[in-house]
Structure 1
């Protein structure tokens, strides 16, 4: 099969470190043929570094002139509603970072456009692509199907603030000021303070909101949120208790992110590396306690980071080889949960 021709819309820090650097090495699967960047000096520097032949001043120029099979648009989420509709209307499969937008209403519009124009919109919940998460999910589904270790009872995700860079190299930069761009406003039914809380929550913790659903494989609702923003709790449609510990403590030079899925007679735990750590997969620990003494398994994961595997998964989804890990319709559910969380937390204020 021929290589996919990929266009990039935005090559700032995350665009380079989390995305372009990974697509650039997947030479057997794709080639990055164009990029659009509003800072011309940065655009040229990045294009030269990664061998991208064509540079455009904005996404509209790229859509008009470039012949691409898919677009990676690692924009700040509050600008999605300004850019992504044009790409969806053009019928070009697109990848964006998480979350799909700031508000449920903007997310609903993006989902509607993806449906209307029958265009793939994959949202970048890279943790779903971590080899450790993929392995854990497969084990969990086996246990649910067999019933050998009892019923699933509890899912807990912990992610205190820490060093999420993980020693990654700094991106290329320029001294050009970033142009003023319109950003999506908060919902009409939220105060400015509630919008600030919503913005912070979806920026830092929407990954974990999404990861809980990935491990459950069913919807859930939020039933408790403390006033300090440390904990939220909920329950799935099937009666599984869920908890997200957001800030029980801080770490300065480490990253502590773990996901624990408990059954009646065993658990599956995943410990994830810093989001930008290079080519490190997570670690899986499996405890079984069905017959006599408990046993532990720690399967060896490949030297493949979630961001690289995510790029591979997007390419495969564009080709129709397998479904995208998370499309916009599911990502919209995260915003609904975020909205519910802010409402619950603010009721104590």
Structure 2
């Protein structure tokens, strides 16, 4: 009996000790959980506080009324509205040059004079042929010669006349239109031969310039003659020029698959000349006088950050037409709002920002 009672007492003591150990373990676990929760909560509060305190550097712009354009980029080298090479039809020696590069000349003005080689001989042949032909006309009218003899005299006269006019035409070379001499390839007393160089001088009309460009097949349906073109010239980085699409080929080139277009550019002050590199934007769709912000302000999910009192505020905007530079705002942003256009990636609502530049 005593042994049995002792056994029961030991068992009860052991059970109590085990329960006490388990209780201690639960208390320790609870303490750890509470501690982690407090640490995590403080960390979140600290992170939020830091996000609010750290001033993110940003660039901003003002939402304003403007235009949004959809464009197609083109580029090429400028040519004159008219562009020709001044050259004789036959070889010869240059006797006199009356124009140099940069000279402005009028239509009909003599630009080049070639040495009149064989001119006197050819003129004498022409004069003799003309006298013979005139005599043959009288003899034919009197019935003194046959029609065949008359035809032979006529053919000889026409050949002599063509030879004489060709030499005259190629002795004094005149300007076919008013323009500017853009290139000079020879000097006086040089020998010119067709095929060696395209001409002695190059004459261009530059009141309006031409830019020949190519369009891809995906752009072709968007185009039509008369579209406005904004042109930039590398030589004049602070200026833009206005042009229009005046010609568009109806069919694609069989080798390249592209369509050729010709752009006419106004050049009222004659700043532009042939050979300058030009890049342009053909405007095929445009919205005028709409609320706009720079395209870089728009983030995924139509998010735009507005700056108020040094704090970034996230807004959802409804956008309309977009181009590479600007987007149309239909709602969600007001005219005059300050929007973040650079430094907005990674920005969060409520963050403190520092404006480093205004665009």
TM normalised by structure 2 equals: 0.19
Structure whose residues are more often helix by fraction: 1
TM normalised by structure 1 equals: 0.19
Structure whose residues are more often strand by fraction: 2
